[in-house]
Structure 1
Amino acid sequence: MNKTIFIKILIFFLVHINASAIEKVVLFGDSLMAGYGLPKEHHLSIVLENNLKQAGLNIKVINGSVSGSTSSGGLNRADWSLSEPGIDLIILGLGANDMLRGIQPEETERNLEQIIKVAQNKKIKIILAGMVAPDTHGAKYKKEFDAIYPKLSKKYNLALIPFLLEGVALNPSLNQQDGIHPNKDGTIKVSETIKKTIINIIN
């Protein structure tokens, strides 16, 4: 057998053996991951699942996100939402609505930390999807808010997406008319970001 072909086959099997450890993923966020303003076929959960399949990964992606949810709302539903059997991984993407409402960063951090503990107690892996605050609430607020995600990632040894909307935010061609929520193309880009992080975890 050609050496190159053998290596490709070996890599294929190694990826799929490792992938079996992650078969069900839950998007646990707000409207940025819930598919707000988009038909169901363009929701992030559908796009990401198809994206993963194209990469050879048979992973079910569940939309567990709720539009308008704050970190507090996420914490209130965490135990119930994550009690479904077989969840292997959650993409924790809350905090944007906290920031928009000017909720103190220490409260957001506290809520996210409790959600992380709920997931870990259930033996569920976590990818933390970060957000970045504008200067609306001042430089001090921005500094404290932006620090939440890397701090929690380091403390709990979590895979981190520094900014969920990297390359999408403030790009009119990738957002809906409100300038906040990803459109079809923006969702594809967000999906690619998450897919890469999932593959990194698997490997």
Structure 2
Amino acid sequence: MATVSAFGKGNLVRQFVIGVAALFLGLSTLPSAAQQARPVSIVALGDSLTAGYGLGPAEAFPVKLQAALRAKGHAVTVENAGVSGDTSSGGLDRLDWAVGEGVDAVIVELGANDALRGIDPAVTRRNIDQIVTRLKARGITVLLSGMVAPPNMGSTFGAAFNPIFPDLAVRHGVLFDPFFLDGVAGDAGLNLGDGMHPNARGVDVIVRRILPKVEELIAQVRSRRGG
């Protein structure tokens, strides 16, 4: 029978220990790797601007945003949680079922109907504040998209309404998109006949403009997973 010298036994023990350590090290990296590989789940929480009012199913903002992100190599899903006519109060009321378990990030697009209806800006501020607070408490990364009051609401209303979104973005330390309709509002060629809702071309403009911010959103989710 072959024998193993003391030196040989020492080598075998060391190799065994190294092998076990490598195995555990490999196992410890599996959850992180799996987390990083899992597609980022984004919910677009909003009103008719998110829902795709007057557009075909493939023309709504969340659908086009998802396609644009995937074209750039991002593994993502973008769920449409837009409800036409919704105010910030409505968004707050349905928050828990509109943003289910397993969601990584939310684009908050609310406030247009608050402004059009002349709702007290203090109410809008309180609602958006609560929405962002509750999402962050769930560990969900947030991109807050701002809205601007229509000029016909008057300067006093605008002075109270317009700072809501930048103020809350700073307060909560979340990503901020200053104006969802930037580059689209007021352009007849980019809106439906009502002059308020973007047409398919208008949605394309919104998607191109907001895309870098959404990529930052995805990067924050990936960073959190990697941590």
Q: Would you call these one fold, judging by a TM-score over 0.5?
A: yes
The whole-number CA distance in structure 2 between the counterparts of 1:18 and 1:161 is 27
**C-alpha offsets along residues 94-114 of structure 1, whole Å, 9 cap, x if unaligned?**
000000000011100000011
Which residue of the other structure, out of 148, 167, 175, is the alignment partner of 1:132?
A: 148
Percent identical? 39
Shift of residue 85 of structure 1? 2.3
Which residue of the other structure, out of 68, 79, 85, is the alignment partner of 1:51?
A: 68
Q: Which residue of 1 aligns with 2:126?
A: 110
The whole-number CA distance in structure 2 between the counterparts of 1:177 and 1:113 is 33
- Which stretch of structure 1 is more off in the superposition, 117-126 or 99-108? 117-126
Which residue of the other structure, out of 68, 83, 86, is the alignment partner of 1:66?
A: 83
Task: Show structure 1 runs of 5+ residues with no match.
Answer: 1-16
Higher gyration radius (CA): 2
Q: Which residue of 1 aligns with 2:20?
A: none
Q: Which residue of 2 aligns with 1:5?
A: none
Q: Are positions 1:38 and 2:55 aligned together?
A: yes
Q: Are positions 1:80 and 2:100 aligned together?
A: no
Q: Is this contact kept in 2: 1:153–1:160, CA < 8 A? A: yes
Shift of residue 39 of structure 1? 0.6
Q: Is this contact kept in 2: 1:22–1:88, CA < 8 A? A: no
Shift of residue 179 of structure 1? 0.6
The whole-number CA distance in structure 1 between the counterparts of 2:183 and 2:54 is 20
**C-alpha offsets along residues 7-58 of structure 1, whole Å, 9 cap, x if unaligned?**
xxxxxxxxxx997586110000000111100010111111111000111101
Q: Is this contact kept in 1: 2:46–2:108, CA < 8 A? A: yes
**C-alpha offsets along residues 59-89 of structure 1, whole Å, 9 cap, x if unaligned?**
100001100000000010012222x222111
Q: Which residue of 2 aligns with 1:90?
A: 106
Change (3 A) 1:22 1:153: farther
Q: Which residue of 1 aligns with 2:202?
A: 186
The whole-number CA distance in structure 2 between the counterparts of 1:87 and 1:20 is 15
Q: Is this contact kept in 1: 2:121–2:161, CA < 8 A? A: yes
Q: Are positions 1:171 and 2:187 aligned together?
A: yes
Q: Is this contact kept in 2: 1:19–1:57, CA < 8 A? A: no
Q: Which residue of 1 aligns with 2:212?
A: 196
AA aligned to 2:74 is L
Tell me which protein shows more helix as a share of its residues: 2
The whole-number CA distance in structure 1 between the counterparts of 2:40 and 2:175 is 17
Q: Is this contact kept in 1: 2:43–2:105, CA < 8 A? A: yes
Q: When the two structures are superposed, what TM-score results if normalisation uses the length of structure 1? A: 0.87
The whole-number CA distance in structure 1 between the counterparts of 2:74 and 2:141 is 17
CA RMSD of aligned residues (A): 1.7
Q: Secondary structure at the match of 1:61?
A: strand
Q: When the two structures are superposed, what TM-score results if normalisation uses the length of structure 2? A: 0.78
Change (3 A) 1:21 1:190: farther
